[in-house]
Amino acid sequence: MKQIAQYQDGRLELQDVPAPTPPPGGVLVRVTHSVISVGTEKMKVEQAKMNLLQKAKARPDQVRKVLDTAKTLGWKAALDKVRNRLETPTPLGYSAAGVVEAVDSLNTRLRVGDNVAIGGAECAFHAEYVAVPDMLAAKVPEGVENWQAAYTTIVSIALQTVRQLEPTMGERVLVTGQGLVGLLITALLRANGVRVMAVDLALARKSFAEAMGAEKFVIPSQQNLADEVRAWTDGFGVDAVVLATATQNNSPTEQAIDALRDRGRIVVVGNTKVDLLWKYAYEKEISVRYSRSYGPGRYDPAYEWGGTDYPIGYVRWTEQRNFDACLHLMKTGQLDLGAITTRRVPFADSLGAYQELLGEGAAKEVGVVLEYQKAERSAFNVQRSTLKEAPAASTETSRLSSPVARLDVIGAGNFARTMLLPHLKDKVPFGTVVNNTALSANHVKSKFGFAEAATDYAALFAKKESAAVIVATRHHLHAPIVKAALSASRHVFVEKPLCLTREELAEIDAVLAKSSGSVQVGFNRRFAGASVELKKLLRATPGPKTASFRVSPGKLDPAHWYANYAESGGRVLGEACHFLDYFCFLFDSKPVRVSAQTTWPASGRLPFPDSVTAQVEFADGSCGQLVYSAEGDSSWPKEVCTVFGAGFVAEIENFQKLSIHRGRKATTHSYNGKGHAEQMTAWAAFLRGAAEHPLPYAQSRQSMTLTFAVLESIQAGQSVEVV
């Protein structure tokens, strides 16, 4: 299928990419129309064309992330991550409509053949087919054409702004910025019985604003806005102002405060600078609100992707209910989208249209609709992945008698592209790369030389063969994919954690017992250069040891997918397992008992422990103490491990430095990396039949069992046996 791809140097391409697969509870949609949001997409392309310094100034939050990576992994790894992101294409588009082509078995609301409006910058792309979750799709009612329904997401942005404004009939509102969203806000306010004064720098927008219901139109460079407001409001000032501009100039904000009446209101929807002048804002006691996207539910993964709706008695207008309201306005004729649709372009000609739209002609264009021809779907696999029990009975292999035929990859995010695949390229034949996002799958295929790209992994395991697979998806998918791969006798590398529950661990045990495949978990720190050197010292030192691992990962962003417990299992299971595994590696002894507790804050926005301390007793008398804390200060090293043994103290800092204190002397060794390259190199040698399995399943299983015991100790409030 075809999809528009944007590169970070500003290039746009119409690429052939694999078809998407419906997410759980979602649908596959053949797109018939999508809308180019000229203002938003022009901003994205302009940011892409910036040089690195300009990008850094525009996104200081990303600069901080790069600095954090450099601190823990070194500048080379940080720069590799930056290069990967800069060379990776991103999709464009977030508002579209089409026909349902396939429905996931968990969806009971939609049917094949339904016309639907779809939204979401994560899924409703400018592409011939898209896969969207249930909550980001709404049925198109009779009387509404799909080209109109394609506006639904953008109209919902305007509707949410009006809801934040809480207008009353007869009020006078100033809407600054008459781009697509500003014009839609003007129309919706007019439908609510509100009188609107529209403001824009471009005279070309006047006819559109008047068509959408603006009572007056003001161009600040040609008219005195303060005088126009004074005359229009009988000297009182407007009741409210909507800032629908996109500028880093504070003039629109200052004009808004000046135009407001006493105790007036401002709602901000555009990406605009808002520096409030205290004296004037205070004297008028103004209220300021921001309007976020399409409405309640936006950016909540439990709502959008998990399908958990908000009860209507508590949240009247969710983003999906906003979709329905917008479609009803179209049906009743209260929203005339034809008045602002300036162009309808065949999808095949979209790149040429973009060049015009994002250039000097942008001010003359408002609503631009892309129209799609019906695409072929013969290559589409829309069935949900199923697990197949393999009849073969064997055990995990230590050394292969012959090389594997190929390596497939499921989950091709930035981690896989940066930390795994570069160390396997040219060492193992690359087969199929599978990713939820078709554009990313296609990019990784081209970059690393995979034979094929796909969005559904089911077809990979259709037959038993000597092949390998990397599983680098989100955590809740690890166990199902590992079981499916083992049933097909695959050799599996799965990023940590192996699974999210003891039940899943038992299921993997059972499948592995019948498989001729193998499992390796991404416990990479075992393989780091500093770890190898430290292990030599421990083996040469008799008696039990004590290790203290202090980890300072920083606070978890509640918007990060890790904060979705159903997907990640939480930070203890998803991240702390690394350091619990490291204790098992250091001591080569069975963990027998653990005592763990959460540390402040134990409650709040995150529904699971963000900070934990644990003390682990090992069978040989060794002891591991883990302090994993989201508190602290970023100037402290992210990972510090100190080991005490007979006649020595050793300390690893970020796996870049190993200090050994022995015989009243201290020696220091420097290293680069946390073991990702070394683990991949060792696994590649195993896949070629040149070496034994580098991390047998029994060792990874023991580390997962210890992690589950830590969680059980937290829940029980007491020490527990590790079983």
User: pLDDT tens across 630-670, in order?
Assistant: 888 888 999 999 999 999 999 999 999 999 999 999 999 99
Half-sphere exposure of 618 (CA within 13 A, CB side): 24
Residues with Cβ within 8 Å of residue 622, at least 6 apart in sequence: 544, 545, 546, 547, 583, 586, 587, 589
Strands (E), 336-436: 341-346, 367-371, 407-410, 430-434
Q: How far is CA 189 from the centre of its chain?
A: 34
What is the mean pLDDT of each successive set of 10 residues along the chain, which is 723 residues long? 87 91 93 88 63 59 68 72 76 96 88 95 95 96 96 98 97 96 97 97 94 96 95 96 93 95 96 90 95 94 92 96 97 95 94 78 81 64 35 53 95 92 95 93 94 92 92 96 96 96 96 95 96 96 96 86 85 93 96 90 58 95 95 91 97 96 95 94 96 95 96 89 91
Q: For residue 466, which of 421, 405, 409, 521 has the smallest C-alpha distance?
A: 405
Task: Encode 172-206: b = buried (16+ Cβ within 10 Å), e = exposed.
Answer: bbbbbbbbbbbbbbbbbbbebebbbbbbbbeeebb
pTM higher than 0.75, yes or no? yes
- Token pair of 54 as six digits: 């300009």
Q: For residue 480, which of 503, 456, 504 has the smallest C-alpha distance?
A: 504
Q: Which domains does the chain have, with CATH numbers?
A: 2-150+299-371 (3.90.180.10), 157-290 (3.40.50.720), 409-520 (3.40.50.720), 525-721 (3.30.360.10)
CA distance 265 to 290: 11
| Residue 527 DSSP code | G
CA distance 613 to 616: 10
Q: Residue 27 forms beta bridges with which residues?
A: 103, 132
Determine the 3-state secondary structure of 695 from DSSP: coil
CA distance 721 to 697: 21
Supply the Cα-derived Rg of the chain in whole angstroms.
29
CA distance 284 to 290: 19
Helix axes 75-87, 60-73, angle to 10 degrees: 140
Strands (E), 429-559: 430-434, 452-454, 468-471, 491-494, 518-521, 546-551
Q: Would you say the C-alpha torsion 313, 315, 318, 322 has a positive or negative sign?
A: positive
pLDDT per position as a tens digit, 23-79: 989 999 999 999 998 877 666 666 656 665 655 555 666 666 667 767 676 777 777
Q: How far from each other are the two terminal CA atoms of the chain, in whole angstroms?
A: 50
Q: Give one DSSP letter per residue of 276-306, joined into a string.
A: --HHHHHHHT-EEEE--TTSTTTT-HHHHTT
- Token pair of 53 as six digits: 């310094």
